[in-house]
Amino acid sequence: MVSLRSLVLLPAFIASSYALIFAVDSSQLVSEATYAKAKSEGFTKAVIRGYEEACGVGGQVDPNFVSSYKNARAAGITNIDMYWFPCNGSGNKCKSYATQLSEIASTFSANKMDIGTIWIDLEKDSTCNNFNYGTSGNQAQAKSIISAMKATGFKFGIYSSPGEWSTLFGSESFNLDSSAPLWFANWNNVETVALSTPFGGWTSAVGHQYTDVSASGLFDLNVFTS
């Protein structure tokens, strides 16, 4: 999830067998006014980073999560998901995955948050040197993440891309949990959820992050099926 640059892209609504929902996602603090502007341009869903690696402290709830959530709601966006960037890496003293998820759950409860899906962000990060356990070790870590998530009962999905998948797990064909919904990244400016490069056992997706460019510089832009 990277910061964006300066070009405005308005959604071009696509005729299909289902109605696509246009969404913004962000890892930064977003004001009510910025969300309101996005909503006026047709973006009716928000995905907010709720938990960050913060490998120096073992992972933490994103300090901007609650404020951005409240700003999105105040702007009239009620379809809100979050993403979890798990802390791991052999050189980091990360909290257990169960503890990371417990902190997320406590934040939901304390702030009466209505979150649809928790997206597990699976990608390599050179700053924290996460997923550095080797192919089999990375696969085992990812399975532990999924097990911890399933124990919470939260609705969840997976965010990644074919390239990241291969980097983490040694092969695009590694099947972690293809029964989970997939939100994939491919910055091709194609506003469809069609998965042109199947990976991880998925042949279809429910979300597509199609560009990292937005007018505010705060958003990635996406389409979802719900």
Over residues 51-60, the pLDDT tens digits come to: 999 999 999 9
pLDDT given at position 200 = 98
Buried residues in 77-94 as b, exposed as e (16+ CB within 10 A): beebbbbbbbbbbeebeb
Q: What phi, psi does 200 have (nearest 5°)? A: 60, 15
pLDDT tens sequence across 105-161: 999 999 999 999 999 999 999 999 999 999 999 999 999 999 999 999 999 999 999
Residue (of 9, 98, 106) closest to 65 by Cα position:
106
Contact 201, 175 (CB under 8 A): yes
Q: What are the extents of the domains in the chain?
A: 20-225
Which pLDDT value is given to residue 15? 36
The CATH number that domain 20-225 falls under is 3.20.20.80
* Cα 212 to Cα 225: distance, rounded to the nearest angstrom: 19
pLDDT of residue 10: 44
> What pLDDT was estimated at residue 215?
86
Cα–Cα dist 191/181, whole Å: 18
Q: What is the DSSP string of the chain?
A: -----S---------SSS--EEEEEESS---HHHHHHHHHTTEEEEEEEEEE--TTTT-EE-TTHHHHHHHHHHTT--EEEEEE-----TTS-PPPHHHHHHHHHHHHHHTT-----EEEE----TTTT-S-SHHHHHHHHHHHHHHHHHHHT--EEEEE-HHHHHHHHSSTT--S-TTS-EEEE--S---S---SS-BTTBS--SEEEEES--SSSS-EEEEE--
- Residue-level pLDDT at 145: 98
Integer Cα distance of 204 and 198 in angstroms? 7
Amino acid at residue number 58:
G
Residues listed for the chain:
226
Q: Which residues of the chain have pLDDT under 70?
A: 1-18
pLDDT, residue 18, reads 62
Q: What pLDDT is attached to residue 202?
A: 98
Q: Give me the pLDDT at residue 181, please.
A: 98
pLDDT for 112: 98
The fraction of the chain above a pLDDT of 90, given in percent, is 91
Helix spans in 95-172 (H): 97-110, 134-152, 162-169
